[in-house]
Amino acid sequence: MSEPPRDLREVALAINERLTEHYGPPEVRRVQDPLDELIQTVLSQNTADVNSDRAFAQLMAQFGGDWERVRTAPVGAVADAIRIGGLADVKAPRIQSILGEIKERVGELDLTFLRELPLDQGRAFLRSLGGVGPKTAACVLLFACGKPALPVDTHVHRVSQRLGLVPQTATAEQAHALLENLVPSDMVYSFHMNLIRHGRQICKALRPRCPECPLFDLCTFASKTLPASPRES
Ligand code: SF4
């Protein structure tokens, strides 16, 4: 007899509970200004966190945290300030273009109004800026605006596919809407943080450590590795 369909909302709840038990409560991130968060997230695109954090710190130091100065500086000066983060010659014009669009449409370099907007409107505004994809928009909305937007990075995407929360064929972009539909608003932050921790520590891209995984019985990944069977005596 075939298995009854799983209630994915229940499964998502169980996964989050188990991961919180396994790793402890997720670290609480300092809430920063939405525009700072946006630029920091753009710097983190395709870059290791440690390097993008350094690039952001150098950009802030170089321009005194003044986004108007960053917007109007020669693009080479912005690129030099963020060089340590990689892809500087792509990201510097992208950052200046984003700042220019915000200035033109909002009238000032300030995104705190996003905190007062409904989630969908805030997301639509951010996504309409060139170079801002679904993950970047969700990071700004979740971390700087307290909205239940769920950023799907490479870990969240891979782990949620393996667990069967989203189809194997779902793109990261599609997974944003699918996961937000499964996870209650007050659980979005911990769910996001937990899946990242799990993806980094156990459900690794190349060699998932399935035998020690606290989600083993909940996971539908066809290639999950079984615990070693005890030797027969
Ligand atoms: S059982 Fe393996 S594939 Fe499934 S979530 Fe755990 S580590 Fe990942």
Q: How many CB atoms lie within 10 A of CB 107?
A: 8
Q: Tell me, what's the pLDDT at 223?
A: 81
Give the number of residues written for the chain. Answer: 233
Q: Tell me, what's the pLDDT at 225?
A: 77
Q: Tell me, what's the pLDDT at 29?
A: 87
* Ligand 1 nearest-atom number relative to CA 214: 6
The Cα–Cα gap between 169 and 215 comes to 21
Output Rg (C-alpha) for the chain, integer angstroms: 20
With a 6 Å cutoff on the Cβ, whether 15 touches ligand 1 is no
pLDDT, tens digit only, all 233 positions of the chain: 555 567 999 999 999 999 999 999 999 988 999 999 999 999 998 887 788 899 999 999 999 999 999 999 999 999 999 999 989 999 999 999 999 999 999 999 999 999 999 999 999 999 999 989 999 999 999 999 999 999 999 999 999 999 999 999 999 999 999 999 999 999 999 999 999 999 999 999 999 999 999 999 999 998 877 765 544 33
Specify whether the CB–CB gap between 176 and 134 falls below 8 A.
yes
Q: How far is the CA of 151 from the centre of ligand 1 (A)?
A: 20
Would the pTM count as exceeding 0.85?
Answer: yes
Specify whether the CB–CB gap between 88 and 82 falls below 8 A.
yes
Identify the CA nearest to 182 among candidates 156, 209, 208: 156
Question: Which residue, chain included where needed, has tokens 């905190």?
Answer: 115
Active-site residue set: 135
